[in-house]
Amino acid sequence: MRVISGKVRGLKLNTPKNEDVRPTTDRVKESLFNIISSYVMESNVLDLFAGTGSLGIECLSRGANKCVFVDNSKESIEIVKSNIKKARFEESSIIINSDFKDATNKLYVQKNKFDIIFMDPPYYKNMFIEAIDRINGLELLAEEGILVIEHDIKDEFPEKIGKLEKSRHKKYGNTALTFYKMEE
């Protein structure tokens, strides 16, 4: 797994030694960033269920201002920290070792708004809708922002969740990406 573009292009990122984390493949990541490239420059990013931190680090490499990395797993947080250090993005990174509920509450209290929110929770744990509801209810997505959900192709999402409307859906093998934006 590597950084595809930007300041640290080609940097090889650390990955977990077990199967608990599914890092986004380079193919999916490249397609994703072709779609969201106009959102990245000078953005504030939330990498929820960060895993290795690959998506947030890709944003920072491409010119994002800040990324908040959230994961409940201590092992994942250690990998995120090592990848941030390797990329030298410590000053533009915030790391939260917490479950998504506590983390989103904290971010709401701090009045954070994000231009890009990545969400890649553990598959088959039914956290998707609850996490989307929290993002919507706590108004963490900026008005012109985008929510990107990486999931198994078998997962289905409604056209609308609160103020969020599905704007795009792409499939890559067994992986799918679903995009939401604030309603017009």
- The model carries a pTM of 0.93
The predicted structure's pLDDT at residue 19: 59
The predicted structure's pLDDT at residue 22: 65
Q: To 5 degrees, how large is the angle CA 156–CA 123–CA 75?
A: 150
Helix (H) / strand (E) containing 7: none
- Taken in order of first residue, the domains within the chain and their CATH numbers are 27-182 (3.40.50.150)
Tens digit of pLDDT per residue, the chain (184 long)?
899 999 999 999 988 776 566 667 778 889 999 999 999 999 999 999 999 999 999 999 999 999 999 999 999 999 999 999 999 999 999 999 999 999 999 999 999 999 999 998 876 567 888 899 999 999 999 999 999 999 988 888 889 988 999 999 999 998 999 999 998 7
DSSP-assigned states of every residue in 41-76: TT-EEEEET-TT-HHHHHHHHTT-SEEEEEES-HHH
The two tokens of residue 124 are 């088959």
The number of CA neighbours under 13 Å toward the Cβ of 183 is 8
